[in-house]
Amino acid sequence: MSATTAPETPAPAKVPAVNRLGLAQAVYKGSPSTLCTGCGHDSITNQIIKAMFELDVEPHHVAKLSGIGCSSKTTAYFLGQSHGFNSVHGRMAAVATGVNLANSNLMAIGVSGDGDTASIGLGQFLHMVRRNVQICYIIENNGVYGLTKGQFSATADKGSLQKKGDSNEMFPIDCCALAIEMGCEFVARSFSGDYKQLCTLLKAGLSHRGTAMIDVVSPCITFNNHEGSTKSYKFAKDHEEALHEIGFVSSHEPITAEYEEGTTTKIELPDGAHIILKKLHRDYDPSDKANALELLAKARDERLFLTGLLYMGKGQAPMVEQKNLVDEPLATLPQSRVRPSPEVLAQVMESLK
């Protein structure tokens, strides 16, 4: 892989030029990226485009949400036909919560950075997870503040060096471990250069009901791609340990395609889609919370990151379902549905006399 270009993954032969909606993949693109050439974030953008295309998503159904940072800018670079909101540093989680309440039919995709989520936005992130807001929340994790030119973020590894030579002496915050703690039922980690795994995880995350969070190690080639940084391309490539290979099959394709008795675990997604995990070198059970946390802790000690679907629970209703809202979006309910009758007011007035 080259560190200076971010080529699109060549489409596998069996994927047609248009998807089931008759849309070409190009329709899922946004405006041209203004990030540094070779930035890991651009690779993630490309996989989001591909995942949306392959999932046959109607662009107008999507709300693209982000905070502030190089990573957060990328919502402008995909799905040009969807509404997008580049909001406030560290506060996209709250915006997403409001979007969910106002129109739960929208597919919310959130893009954030490690600074945006783990530093300024940590509280809101955890509360969003706790509420189980319906969103696929992607953290483009480079261990630095890219946009403000290379300061340490809260996910910077202990011992990593800043460009000017300062070293970080604090342990990094592991957003995956925190999300699992907070009850998140879809927690995954990937690497911006691992297109196949990333695209599959994105498709699974976008199909999940409730909060799906994907922490994507995404090297900042300008400020954090040097010796001593654990979020450099080289380090990430050398220290990545994939948990399992994942094949994602959405509900309208034959489920049996990659399913092999004895070597796979099939996980039902609440919307009817399935995710199939191919175990590589261990019997990994993504429904075992304690095991996931233990592995994450161990990986941190060993300075390697596990990729794949780390944890998947099932059952907790997303926030909006817990609220028992009407089926139509609250946003567009007509006056007749939201303004009580004059008699009700008269009745209230009478009680105050």
Partner 1 sequence: MESISNIKRIHWIYQLKIVKLILLSHNGKKPMSSSTLNQPEVAATGKKGSVVNDIVIQIATSNGSGSQSANNILLRSIFNMGVPVSGKNLFPSNIQGLPTWFTIRASKDGWTGARREIDVLIAMNVESVVDDIRDLRPGGMLILNSELKQYLTRTDVKAHIVPFNELVVQCCPEVKLRKLVTNMIYVGVAGFLLSMDIEEIKKSIDKQFKTKPKVADLNRNAVTVGYNWASEHLVNDHDYVIERDHKTEGKILIEGNMATALGALYGGVTVVAWYPITPSSSVCENLIELLRHYRHDPDGKATYAVLQAEDEIASIGFVVGAGWTGARAMTATSGPGISLMSEFAGLSYFAEIPAVIVDVQRMGPSTGLPTRTCQGDIMKAYYLSHGDCKHIVLIPGSVQECYEFAMESLNLAERFQTLVLMLSDLDLGMNNWMSDPFKPPTKDMDRGKVLTAEDLDKVKQFGRYADVDGDGIPYRTLPGTKHPKAAFFTRGTGHTAAATYSEKAEDWKVNMDRLAKKFATARGMVPAPVIEHQGKGDVGIIAYGSSDVAVKESLSQMKAEKGLEATYLRIRALPTCDAIRDFITSKRVTYLVEQNRDAQMASILRAEYPELAAKLVSVLHYDGMPIEARTISDHILKFEKKA
Ligand X SMILES: Cc1ncc(C[n+]2csc(CCOP(=O)(O)OP(=O)(O)O)c2C)c(N)n1
Which does residue 115 touch among partner 1, ligand X, ligand SF4, none (CB within 5 to 8 A, set by kind)? ligand X
Residues 6 or more apart whose CB falls under 8 angstroms from that of 284 comprise 243, 244, 277, 308
Which does residue 223 touch among partner 1, ligand SF4, ligand X, none (CB within 5 to 8 A, set by kind)? ligand SF4
Select the residue interacting with Mg ion from 114, 157, 185, 240 (CB under 5 A).
114
- In three-state secondary structure terms, 239 is helix
Q: Does 45 bind Mg ion (CB under 5 A)?
A: no
Largest Cα span, the chain: 77
Q: Does 216 bind ligand SF4 (CB under 6 A)?
A: no
Residue-level length of the chain: 353
Q: How far is the CB of 25 from partner 1 (least distance, A)?
A: 17
Q: How far is the CB of 156 from Mg ion (least distance, A)?
A: 9
Which does residue 116 touch among ligand SF4, ligand X, Mg ion, none (CB within 5 to 8 A, set by kind)? ligand X
Q: Which residue, 220 or 309, has its beta carbon nearer to Mg ion? A: 220
46/137 Cα distance (integer angstroms)? 16
Residues 6 or more apart whose CB falls under 8 angstroms from that of 300 comprise 171, 172, 174
Residues 6 or more apart whose CB falls under 8 angstroms from that of 64 comprise 75, 78, 79, 82, 83, 84, 85, 109, 111
Q: Does 210 bind ligand X (CB under 6 A)?
A: no
Token readout for 335 is 């006056």
Single out the residue of 147, 231, 136 nearest to residue 193, CA to CA. 231
Q: Which residue, 246 or 319, has its beta carbon nearer to partner 1? A: 319
Report yes or no: 179 and 129 within 8 Å, Cβ to Cβ. Answer: yes
Which does residue 65 touch among Mg ion, ligand SF4, ligand X, none (CB within 5 to 8 A, set by kind)? none
Select the residue interacting with ligand X from 30, 38, 40, 69 (CB under 6 A).
69
Single out the residue of 260, 223, 195, 250 nearest to residue 113, CA to CA. 223
Which does residue 170 touch among partner 1, ligand SF4, Mg ion, none (CB within 5 to 8 A, set by kind)? none
H or E, element range at 201: helix 195-207
Site string for Mg ion, 58-97 (x = CB under 5 A): ----------------------------------------
Token readout for 92 is 């996209």
Q: How far is the CB of 162 from ligand X (least distance, A)?
A: 13
Q: Does 94 bind partner 1 (CB under 8 A)?
A: yes
Q: Which residue, 150 or 270, has its beta carbon nearer to ligand SF4? A: 150
One-letter-per-residue 3-state SS of 131-176: HCCCEEEEEEECCEECCCCCEECCCCCCCCECCCCCECCCCCCCHH
Q: Which residue, 27 or 36, has its beta carbon nearer to ligand SF4? A: 36
Q: Which residue, 220 or 269, has its beta carbon nearer to ligand SF4? A: 220
Q: Does 26 bind partner 1 (CB under 8 A)?
A: no
Instruction: Determine how many CB atoms are found less than 10 A away from the CB of residue 350.
Output: 8
Q: Which residues bind ligand SF4 (CB under 6 A)?
A: 35-36, 39, 41, 70, 142, 146-147, 220-223
Q: Which residues bind Mg ion (CB under 5 A)?
A: 113-115, 142
Q: Which residues bind partner 1 (CB under 8 A)?
A: 31, 58-61, 63, 65, 68, 75-76, 80-88, 91, 93-103, 105-106, 123-124, 127, 320, 323-327, 329-333, 335, 337-342, 344-346, 348-349, 352-353
